[in-house]
Amino acid sequence: MTITEKREIPFEKTNYAYLTDRRDQVVFSETPTLMQPRFGEKLPEPQAHKHRFVCGQDGLYIEAQNQVIGIRQCIAQSLVRLPYGKIEQTGIHLRHGQIPSWILADVIRKAANAVPNEWAGLIVWNEIQSQYQLYEPDVLTATSAKISYSTFMPEGLIPVMDLHSRGNGHAFFSLTDDQSDLSGFYVAVVIGKCASDHPEFVIRMVVNGHFLSCPDIGMFFQ
């Protein structure tokens, strides 16, 4: 066998050999469910940009990571103690540390200045400059009820947080937001009551179409 040849693992030796339909095999290989080791070595890190499920002693967890964010969160508590290992260090982790607080202040100011119209922006990690930045995409249309903008992202910028406002309306995720968040891996934020002294925030973690609850937005900022 030459160095460029691949040696395929016999199907009967894979850990999904019991799946008789090829479609099930593809689903399992793309989104596996693993056991948290109780005695042996830790699991390897998840493949970048993909998510997986892990069974621990107290329930089912979702895990995912990319260059800027890592998440490990329980999505289903078990009614019985499972014979697996304990899953620790849960939550959402910004791999380059918390975002400077002045960026959040800039977001709030720009959203307020856009009232009554909506505003949109992204907090990104600049791989070239090794720092967080606020990136504002080119806006196509903006009204008090809707905003549309270019999805072009310059090279070297990795989305961390996707934000848009509701003008002076209440903050909420719309059906349009649900559709636009069906792919990708980032924190999604909607800002409401933007002209008030106490703007509203709703926030969720988007993991390839799965929406996971997040604590207060302040946890992401210095």
Where in the chain are the domains? 11-94, 101-220
CATH number corresponding to 101-220: 3.40.140.10
pLDDT above 90 coverage of the chain, percent: 74
Q: How far apart are the first and last CA of the chain?
A: 54
CB 108 within 8 A of CB 191: yes
What pLDDT, on a 0 to 100 scale, did the predictor assign at position 87? 95
pLDDT exceeds 90 at position 25: no
What pLDDT, on a 0 to 100 scale, did the predictor assign at position 14? 52
| DSSP letters spanning 147-170 | EEE-----TTEEEEEEEEE-TTSP
pLDDT exceeds 70 at position 11: no
pLDDT exceeds 90 at position 114: yes
57-to-32, 36, 80 alpha-carbon distances in Å: 18, 8, 8
What pLDDT, on a 0 to 100 scale, did the predictor assign at position 215? 80
Other Cβ atoms closer than 10 A to 21: 8
| Lowest mean pLDDT across 16-20, 164-168, 181-185 | 16-20
* pLDDT digit string, tens, across residues 120-163: 999 999 999 999 999 999 999 999 889 998 888 999 999 999 99
Which tokens go with 167? 């003008």
Mean pLDDT score of the chain: 90
CB 185 within 8 A of CB 66: yes
Tell me the pLDDT band of 15, cut-offs 50, 70 and 90.
Answer: low
What pLDDT, on a 0 to 100 scale, did the predictor assign at position 216? 87
